Amino acid sequence: MGLFRDETSVDAGLTTGAVARKLGVSPTTLRSWDRRYGIGPAVRPDGRHRRWTPRDVAMVETMCRLTSAGVPTAEAARAAKKGTGEGAPDDWEDDGDLGETAGVGPASAPARPRSSAPTASAAEATAPAADVRQECRGLARAAVRLDAPAVEERLAGVVERYGVTVAWQEVLVPTLHAVGRKWESSGDRYVEVEHLLSWHVSTVLRRCAAPAGSRHETAAPGPVVLACVPGEQHTLPLEALNAALSQLGLPSRMFGAAVPAEALVAAVDRLGPTAVVLWAQARSTASVPLARHVAAARWGVKGARRRPVVVLGGPGWHGRPAEGMVRPSALGEAVDMLTDLYGRAS
């Protein structure tokens, strides 16, 4: 508490900014969790800023730990509010048998990739836990059967019902990981299942995205540039973000996998983007010098020069220095952040 005595007293509680610094998350994340899941300060004196009590801080600490371990955001929120943060929530552990029931098999959940990630309005809602389990199981079963029409139908239905953000965070990522864990533990027997599922996830996400240049392309702020860093092949999280931004009418430029550093810098110079999202799945591909170089780019007339906001997405950036950059923890947070940023730049 000593670090925050200049901002608040023990009796008054901590400000949101103080809690954000204490836990190493952004104030945007805390506000998003409060708005969507009720993970926020319980004490809200009339006419004063919200204050976080020790109990509130403990709850959000549990939330941070569970989301960092890969538990879906809504499940982590339920566990944090119930005080069951000693491990993954029971509802999530039960989802280990989504693969077992579907023929994909249970496994402990590794850290899941967090996209820097979709629609703000759709992200306001969360899918009930029972519905999520049913959606995951049904999708996994169809994938194991290599039933491509059923996989695509289910994917399209999930996105339509819950929106891109919730569908991605609560259904698509857990199912992809359940399938991936199975083939990793069974001698690559199910690799074809993962490939088929990934292909159709990509297909549905691209279908959600409006054609490039259809909306807001003449607005003054530059587009959002989406790129995997050199050597990085994992594009699905960026595809989810691209679909979400498109549905919100925000311009983006998707460059895909393993963008060479020179090409990325050239694209930034040509486009003058409002933000650049760099995805790194592995620490070996997360290039801090490249991120800093992009963040230092400037353009525009003298006296009104601008630079992009660099958004670091993916587990590869965990623990890396990110001064002057932002690192959202989930798809919905990234969408909120980019929407706010674009609104300020307009």
Which string of b and e fits 297-309 if b means at least 16 CB within 10 Å?
Answer: beeeeeeeeebbb
pTM beyond cutoff 0.85 = no
Amino acid in position 292: R
Mean local confidence (pLDDT), 12-30: 75
Q: Nearest to residue 258, comparing CAs of 284, 223, 231, 221?
A: 231
Q: Nearest to residue 312, comparing CAs of 296, 288, 332?
A: 288
pLDDT digits (tens, 9 = 90+) for 74-108: 778 888 887 744 443 333 333 333 333 333 332 22
Split at pLDDT 50, 70, 90, the class of 294 is very high
What pLDDT, on a 0 to 100 scale, did the predictor assign at position 264?
94
Which residues have CB under 8 Å from 49's CB, separation 6+? 15, 16
Give me the percent of the chain exceeding a pLDDT of 70: 70
- Tell me the average pLDDT of the chain: 75
pLDDT digits (tens, 9 = 90+) for 135-167: 888 888 888 888 888 889 899 999 998 889 989
Which residues have CB under 8 Å from 241's CB, separation 6+? 115, 116, 117, 118, 226, 252, 277, 313, 331, 334, 335
